[in-house]
């Protein structure tokens, strides 16, 4: 047999029994050949390498040729683990027999192996493996390069070890952390590896005395794991069976393992910070949309019932547009804190985007429970928020959807919760809705309308009706408001309150607004040509925020009116309009006024920003919301609001139009308060042009004449007596 230096040969039969070994084997391993020959070769191989050795043995027997060398640890007569490069080839006689050549590793070969294992660890780390997996790989590396050892790596609550590590040593770290830290702290203080001997005599090893005796452990080397910044983050603990002191080469392995462990921990921390950046909203500290996606996937995989809630702040854009984004961020941060506090740690809260938050409720939630939770959320959100500009209150709309089916797509549940939230907004906001069949039918109808609206616009299914605006003093017709109508072939007459919001959530709204403006202006031109000279008529058109924010809007309008310096065309912007880019809208309004267009704030007094809108926009008209007009003859509070609006308009030079006048009493009260203009069913319903012309003449120049129900009104100059300060109906002067 081949025999040279630290190299020897061994023959193993098909049953993995050692049948022969060269004489050099005894000199290298200390084996007594007569004692080991005839025994199982498995007893001579390190347990951690045995499975790999048996696999190689089987492959050599199946295939002819020589198997390339690989490193295995062989147990010598003293119980030490010696590393050898082992190669083998199949012998024909007797069949199934394998001859192995074992070459003891040189220092150079050990260094090469160590370098390769470091590269393998870096590859493992780069693949995204868990910190515990990488630390376990380091424990294996330590045991391969430090003879007769048991390695553990301790970082925080993570205790990494090889599969052969006795459980007592692991339990000791989990249950008696003060003990292991004694030698770890000593290592940290010195900044070097710290060696303890005679462990059975030390108090902090007393809990594992039996395991130390069974495993033949005589000493331990503890090496600190230090982060790049210099702080200790853990330690490497190598239990040694050898009675000899560690060699310089072994100390080098200790330090290498500690440095690599530090690299593993640092990379893990970087990944955690990256995950935090990726999955956390930087403003509120809540999870973001990516976090929500991951959370929903985890919950859906469990196959249990859960619910999703969507919380959206009402008219939040007003805060950003009027108070600034910094104070808007303060509102969002405060609301986030309140949401997290009110729902508790068991319910996950995320910021979905903008002013929208999402909560995930587990544990088979019921509709009544969700409504109660939603009400608690609304109460928490509605509390006063202290801002630099002063205390503010905000409201929210909350929608829930319950997922009952285990395989239901969580994103479909989220869509339904969002629909329920919008249903709460349509109800006026500051409310809670749980998704039900009615909301589902509304969504399906809205989807149909959204799909069909572009073709309805192109094919002429939309039309305009016009409601006259009168001078309340002279009862002459001074303007008309254009109102869009949709005669649907299946659903009949669809009101603008239904299809305008649908259009606003699509790109159709700008085209729709431009169609209304073009149609209304052409009709205005026809009426103007039929009117007497010097009696202009103003056409008022409602325009949405999306259109008013279009950079090309003013150019489009001036081109439509052929740059007429007095186009007699007015733009109405509702008080509740939510602008995304308020600055562009304000600039467009300024340019419109410079071009001679009128600007009216519709539904004045119903939104949060009445005074701010009046200050920022160059307004020519204020339209008092019909709610105030309808209640002012029964409620002193509403009467005072109307009076305040009239007084405010007088100081700014704006003309006031009262909307929704339906009774003679309302008309008398408004005239008594010097309200200039009005419109409502008392005068005329919205009508098509031919009906208006039949009643008011070709150019709509004929005055309004009271019907029999209003004939008792005595038309004259406005009386000076205003309604008394009480909730009784105001009494006109005689």
Q: Is residue 733 part of a domain?
A: no
Cα–Cα distance, 36 to 30 (Å, whole number): 11
Does the model's pTM come out above 0.75?
no
Phi and psi angles of residue 622, each rounded to the nearest 5 degrees, phi first: -120, 135
Mean pLDDT of 141-155: 89
The rounded Cα 95 to chain-centroid distance in angstroms is 67
Query: Residue 104 pLDDT > 70, yes or no?
Result: yes
Strands (E), 15-65: 18-21
Percentage of the chain beyond pLDDT 70 is 89
Output 727 or 167, whichever has higher pLDDT. 167
Does 729 score more than 70 pLDDT? no
Residue 715 falls inside a structural domain: no
Task: Identify whether the C-beta of residue 710 lies closer than 8 Å to the C-beta of residue 664.
Answer: yes
Q: Which residues pair with 483 in a beta bridge?
A: 465
Q: Is the pLDDT of residue 232 over 80?
A: yes
Q: How far apart are CA 285 and CA 392, in angstroms?
A: 22
Range of the domain at 171: 109-276
Distances (CA, A) of 473 to 25, 56, 224, 672, 725: 123, 107, 93, 10, 24
Pairing of strands 621-624, 598-604: parallel
Do 73 and 220 belong to one domain?
no
| Tokens read off for 612 | 């701010």
pLDDT band for position 556 (50/70/90)? very high
Separation of alpha carbons 667 and 662, rounded Å = 8
On whether both 327 and 418 belong to a single domain, the answer is: yes
CA atoms of 679 and 162, how far apart (whole Å):
86
What Cα–Cα distance (Å) separates residue 173 from each residue in 4, 142, 156, 179, 181? 46, 19, 11, 8, 9
d(CA 636, CA 625): 16
Per the domain annotation, does 66 fall within a domain? yes
Alpha helices in 195-287 (DSSP H): 209-215, 248-279
* Of 105, 127, 159, the domain-final residue: 105
Question: Do 213 and 323 fall into the same domain?
Answer: no
Does any domain span residue 729? no
Residue 731 covered by a domain: no
Q: State whether 56 and 169 are in the same domain.
A: no
Q: Is the pLDDT reported for residue 167 higher than 90? A: no
CB 717: neighbour CB atoms within 10 A? 7
Residue 548 within any structural domain of the chain: yes
Residue 725 falls within a domain, yes or no? no
pLDDT tens digit sequence for 494-508: 888 888 888 887 778
Average pLDDT, integer, range 548-560: 91
Q: Which of 322-336, 517-531, 607-621, 632-646 has the least mean pLDDT?
A: 607-621
Cα(140)–Cα(512) distance, integer angstroms: 71
Asked if residue 529 and residue 412 are part of one domain, the reply reads: no
Note the pLDDT of residue 175: 63
Strand partners, 538: 479
How large is the C-alpha radius of gyration of the chain? Answer: 43
pLDDT band of residue 127 (cuts 50, 70, 90) is: confident
b/e string for 602-631 if b means 16 or more Cβ within 10 A?
bbbbebbbbeebbebbebbbbbbbbebbbe
Residue closest to 236 by CA, chosen among 121, 144, 151: 151
Would 55 be classed as within a structural domain?
Answer: yes
pLDDT of residue 608: 52
pLDDT of residue 179: 43
Same-domain pairing of 113 and 260: yes
Distance CA 528, CA 566 (A): 12
What end-to-end distance do the CA atoms of the chain give, in Å? 136
Contacts of 726 (CB under 8 A, 6+ apart): 636
Q: Residue 261 in contact with residue 135, Cβ under 8 Å?
A: yes
Given a cut of 50, is residue 734 above it in pLDDT? no
Same domain, 294 and 272: no
**For range 370-399, the mean pLDDT:** 90
Q: How many CA atoms lie within 13 A of 283 on its CB side?
A: 20
Burial of residue 80 (CB within 10 Å: 0-12, 13-18, 19+) is middle
In 3D space, the residue among 229, 219, 337, 361 whose CA is nearest the CA of residue 283 turns out to be 337
98 and 114 both lie in a single domain: no
Cα distance between residue 180 and residue 202, in whole Å: 12
78 and 114, same domain (yes or no): no
Q: How many domains is the chain built from? A: 4
CATH number at residue 310: 3.30.70.270
Q: Which CA distances in Å does 690 have to 100, 123, 175, 567, 683?
A: 108, 82, 92, 23, 17
d(CA 572, CA 602): 6
Shared-domain flag, residues 408 and 479: no
User: Whose CA is closest to 222, among 209, 232, 236?
Assistant: 236
Both 322 and 380 in one domain: the answer is yes
Is the same domain home to 479 and 422? no
Nearest to 382 by CA among 436, 322, 313, 435: 313
Phi, psi of 634 (to 5 degrees): -115, -20
Residue where one domain finishes, among candidates 54, 82, 105: 105
Q: What is the CATH number of the domain that holds 238?
A: 3.30.450.40
Determine whether 326 is exposed, middle or buried from the number of CB atoms within 10 Å of its CB (0-12, 13-18, 19+).
exposed
- Measured CA to CA, the distance from residue 531 to residue 344 in angstroms comes to 68
Q: Give the C-alpha separation, 607 to 290, whole Å.
A: 34
- What is the predicted pLDDT for the residue at 718? 39
The whole-angstrom distance between residue 202's C-alpha and the CA centroid of its chain comes to: 54
pLDDT given for residue 353 in this prediction: 86
Domain boundary among 212, 245, 276: 276
């Amino acid at each position: 047999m081949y025999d040279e230096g630290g190299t020897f040969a061994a023959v193993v039969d098909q049953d993995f029994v050692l049948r022969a070994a060269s004489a050099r084997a005894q000199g290298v391993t200390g084996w007594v050949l007569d004692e080991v020959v005839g025994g199982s070769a498995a007893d001579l191989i390190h347990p951690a390498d045995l499975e790999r050795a048996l696999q190689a043995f089987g492959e050599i027997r199946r295939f002819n040729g020589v198997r390339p060398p690989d490193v295995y640890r062989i147990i010598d007569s003293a119980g030490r683990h010696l590393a050898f490069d082992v190669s083998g080839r199949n012998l024909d006689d007797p069949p199934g027999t394998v001859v192995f050549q074992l070459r003891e590793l040189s220092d150079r070969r050990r260094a090469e192996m160590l370098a390769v294992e470091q590269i393998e660890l870096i590859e493992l780390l780069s693949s995204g493996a868990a910190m515990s997996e990488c630390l376990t790989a380091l424990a294996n590396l330590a045991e391969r390069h430090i003879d007769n050892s048991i390695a553990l790596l301790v970082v925080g609550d993570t205790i990494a070890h090889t599969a052969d590590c006795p459980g007592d040593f692991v339990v000791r770290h989990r249950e008696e952390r003060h003990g292991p830290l004694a030698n770890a702290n000593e290592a940290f203080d010195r900044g070097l590896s710290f060696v303890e001997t005679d462990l059975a005599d030390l108090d902090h090893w007393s809990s594992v005395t039996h395991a130390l005796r069974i495993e033949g452990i005589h000493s331990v080397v503890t090496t600190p794991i230090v982060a790049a910044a210099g702080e200790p983050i853990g330690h490497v603990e190598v239990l040694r069976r050898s009675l000899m002191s560690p060699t310089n080469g072994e100390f080098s392995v200790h330090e290498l393992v500690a440095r690599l462990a530090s690299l593993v921990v640092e990379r893990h921390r970087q990944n955690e910070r990256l995950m935090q950046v990726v999955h956390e909203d930087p403003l509120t500290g809540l999870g973001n949309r990516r976090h929500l996606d991951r959370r929903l996937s985890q919950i859906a995989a469990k196959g249990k019932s859960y619910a999703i809630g969507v919380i959206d702040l009402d008219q939040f854009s007003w805060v950003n547009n009027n108070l600034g984004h910094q104070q808007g961020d303060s509102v969002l941060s405060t609301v986030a804190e309140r949401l997290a506090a009110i729902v508790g740690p068991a319910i996950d809260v995320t910021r979905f985007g903008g002013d929208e938050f999402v909560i995930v409720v587990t544990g088979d939630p019921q509709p009544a429970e969700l409504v109660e939770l939603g009400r608690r959320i609304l109460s928490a959100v509605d509390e006063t928020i202290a801002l630099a500009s002063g205390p503010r209150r905000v409201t929210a709309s909350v929608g829930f959807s319950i997922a009952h089916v285990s395989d239901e797509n969580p994103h479909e549940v989220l869509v339904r919760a969002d629909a329920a939230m919008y249903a709460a907004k349509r109800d006026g906001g500051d409310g809670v809705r749980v998704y039900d069949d009615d909301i589902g039918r509304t969504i399906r109808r809205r989807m149909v309308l959204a799909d069909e609206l572009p073709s309805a616009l192109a094919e002429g299914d939309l039309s305009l009706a016009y409601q006259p605006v009168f001078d309340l003093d002279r009862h002459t017709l001074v303007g008309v408001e254009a109102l869009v109508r949709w005669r649907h072939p299946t659903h009949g007459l669809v009101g603008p309150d239904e299809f305008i919001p649908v259009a606003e959530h699509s790109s159709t709204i700008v085209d729709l607004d431009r169609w209304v403006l073009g149609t209304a202006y052409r009709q205005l031109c026809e009426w103007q040509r039929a009117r007497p000279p010097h009696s202009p008529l103003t056409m008022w058109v409602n325009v949405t925020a999306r259109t008013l924010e279009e950079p090309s809007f003013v150019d489009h309008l001036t081109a439509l009116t052929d740059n007429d310096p007095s186009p007699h065309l007015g733009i109405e912007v509702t008080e509740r309009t939510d602008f995304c880019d308020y600055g562009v809208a304000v600039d467009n309004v300024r340019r419109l006024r410079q071009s001679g267009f009128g600007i009216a704030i519709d539904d004045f007094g119903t939104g949060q920003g009445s005074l701010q809108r009046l200050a920022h926009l160059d307004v020519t008209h204020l339209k008092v919301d019909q709610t105030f007009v309808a209640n002012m003859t029964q409620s002193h509070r509403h009467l005072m609001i109307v009076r305040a609006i009239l007084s405010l308009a007088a100081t700014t030079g704006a003309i006031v139009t009262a909307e929704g006048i339906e009774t003679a009493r309302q008309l008398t009260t408004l005239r008594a308060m010097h309200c200039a203009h009005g419109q409502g069913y008392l005068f005329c319903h919205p009508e098509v042009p031919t009906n208006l012309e039949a009643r008011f003449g070709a150019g709509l120049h004929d005055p309004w004449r009271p019907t029999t129900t209003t004939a008792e009104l005595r038309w004259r100059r406005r009386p000076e007596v205003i309604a008394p300060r009480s909730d009784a109906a105001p009494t006109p002067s005689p």
